[in-house]
Amino acid sequence: MKKIAIIGSGNIGLSLAKGLVKADFAKAADITLTRRNIDHLQSFADAGFVVSNNNKDAVAKSNILILAVLPQQLNTVLDEIHPVVNPAKHLVISVISGVSCAAVREKLGADVEVIRVMPNTAIAIGQSMTCIASDNATVENITDVTKMFETVGSVVKINEDLMTSATALCACGIAFFLRAIRAASQGGVEIGFHADEALKMAVQTAKGAADLLLLHGTHPESEIDKVTSPKGCTIAGLNEMEHNGFSSSLIKGIKLSALQAGNLYTKAQ
């Protein structure tokens, strides 16, 4: 029987909890959500989740332990739960950016199996791109955790040294693509649409573009070639965007996010 404790139920912890229940991976009653201010979890309590501000108690009652606090909040939590973490009983999953499996074990004990997982907020609707890495978990536990996260999106197993890159591309990436959609809708308003219709059109167009790549398995440029008629309006707009640094700004932003993701924990010490 899976009993899950999510320690630090904020944006990603709650997205994960919603996704796991929506996917029928777990029942709400089998997931304990913790945070210090549990008043903010009332709607989740109403939906059947167990809510608590007692991390030790939540850990003691679970076998899958998901760490989802901010990097700068982690050490306090690890010091607190250390006495009740049992390597024979608990599998530790950390979604915390910039914190290695080894750093978690330094606080919880060398025998504890730790799997690092980097999902994104689309996990709430079963559409996460989740990257997984571990330096000491058994093949069986990695397989189980892969299956768990496959119920809420796609999973890629990577080497741990690429985890901060995965954070930038996939977890931060949600915000990057959302900002691109917002910009497109703002352009739509300038050329004549009301804001609500412009947003709806931009969202569906973005979804169509992503699905073309997913369903055709093609490269973006090959799909772009089908849109850019010779002397047409698409290539005119696209080249204007490139002259203004469209691709370059995305690449630079992703590189800076990856750098920052790698420094989150050390900066917090």
Ligand X SMILES: NC(=O)C1=CN([C@@H]2O[C@H](COP(=O)(O)OP(=O)(O)OC[C@H]3O[C@@H](n4cnc5c(N)ncnc54)[C@H](OP(=O)(O)O)[C@@H]3O)[C@@H](O)[C@H]2O)C=CC1
Ligand Y SMILES: O=C(O)[C@@H]1CCC=N1
Q: What residue numbers does the annotated binding site for NADPH cover? A: 55
One character per residue 2-31, x = contact with ligand X (rule: CB under 6 A): -----xxxxxxx------------------
Using the Cα atoms of residue 252, residue 258, residue 262 and residue 267 in order, give the sign of their dihedral.
positive
- The stretch among 119-127, 156-164, 208-216, 252-260 that binds ligand X (CB under 6 A) is 119-127
Question: Which residue's beta carbon is nearest to the bound ligand X?
Answer: 10
Q: Are 83 and 21 in contact (CB under 8 A)?
A: no
Cβ-proximal residues to 65 (8 Å cutoff; 6+ apart), any chain? 4, 5, 7, 59, 81, 85, 90, 91, 92, 93
Binding residues: 55, 68-71
Q: How far apart are CA 6 and CA 74, in angstroms?
A: 13
Q: Which of 94, 97, 128, 185 binds ligand Y (CB under 6 A)?
A: 97
Residue 171 binds ligand Y, judged by CB under 6 A: yes
- The stretch among 20-28, 72-80, 153-161, 196-204 that binds ligand X (CB under 6 A) is 72-80
Smallest gap, in angstroms, from Cβ of residue 13 to ligand X? 6
Helix axes 101-108, 74-81, angle to 10 degrees: 40
Size of the site for ligand Y (CB under 6 A): 4
State which residue, 92 or 96, has the beta carbon closest to ligand Y.
96
